[in-house]
């Protein structure tokens, strides 16, 4: 089973009907593909519109998402300038933001924008989104390509924001921050508590109600 598909499918279950949602580039953009039929969200794009939708037909030359990729729009789309876009974000009007992560630590800190020694264009709107959104979900693979931990006692990379992460979803587990403490609440089917412990550096509690991720059967077919 593809890890990114599993993560996106589980994150989609966090959405509630009517939510205003901002999705980061990469894995988070897969989330709308797995929304339950009775859940309808409004996607906000930080470059200046609400109503982001899937690309249908030839791309429009001047319509791109925040990552600069061609995109579509749904009925009711509204366009505005970047100033208003960031007023929406900074004013707390985004219900959920879903971002990828390079590192998250047990204090709820996120590092997702810079790897020292590599060229990066800048932090973009991530700092504003993580600070301004009501609910911050980090959707990322559990370990690095080399097998190193990404859920740490303390981030070692430059931070995007401090103490703002609410939920972490990986292909192995779901963690939530409860009263300032990192808590394991779900494991992926076939994944044991020992499997999660072996690949997680951070200190965390295991919820008494910890369960298997409620994933649709078709994901395994």
Contacts 24+ apart (CB under 8 A), 144-151: 147/199, 149/199, 149/200, 149/201, 149/202, 150/101, 150/102, 150/103, 150/104, 151/103, 151/104, 151/105, 151/106, 151/175, 151/182, 151/200, 151/201, 151/202
**182-204 tens-digit pLDDT:** 999 999 999 999 999 999 999 99
> For the chain, what are the domain ranges?
3-51+80-220
Residue with tokens 């791309």: 59
Catalytic residue set? 46
pTM for the complete prediction?
0.94
CATH class as words, domain 3-51+80-220: alpha beta
Please answer whether residues 175 and 167 qualify as being in contact, where contact means their C-beta atoms are separated by less than 8 angstroms.
yes
pLDDT score of 221: 64
Q: For the chain, what is the mean pLDDT?
A: 93
**74-126 tens-digit pLDDT:** 999 999 999 999 999 999 999 999 999 999 999 999 999 988 788 777 777 89
């Amino acid at each position: 089973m593809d890890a990114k598909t599993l993560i996106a499918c589980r994150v989609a279950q966090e959405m509630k009907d009517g939510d205003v949602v901002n999705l980061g580039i990469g894995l988070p953009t897969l989330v709308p593909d797995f929304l339950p039929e009775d859940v309808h969200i409004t996607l906000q794009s930080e470059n200046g519109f609400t109503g982001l939708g899937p690309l249908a037909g030839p791309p429009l030359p001047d319509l791109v998402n925040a990552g600069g990729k061609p995109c579509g729009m749904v009925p009711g789309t509204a366009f505005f300038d970047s100033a208003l876009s960031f007023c929406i974000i900074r004013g707390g009007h985004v219900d959920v933001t879903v971002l990828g992560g390079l590192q998250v630590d047990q204090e709820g800190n996120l590092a997702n924008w810079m790897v020292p020694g590599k060229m990066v264009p800048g932090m973009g709107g991530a700092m504003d989104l993580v600070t301004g959104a009501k609910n911050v979900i980090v959707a990322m693979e559990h370990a690095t390509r080399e097998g190193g931990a990404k859920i740490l006692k303390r981030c070692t990379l430059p931070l995007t924001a401090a103490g703002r992460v609410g939920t972490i979803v990986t292909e192995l587990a779901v963690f939530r921050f409860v009263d300032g403490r990192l808590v394991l609440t779900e494991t992926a089917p076939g994944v044991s508590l020992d499997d999660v412990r072996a690949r997680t550096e951070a200190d965390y509690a295991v919820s008494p109600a910890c369960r298997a991720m409620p994933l649709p059967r078709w994901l395994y077919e």
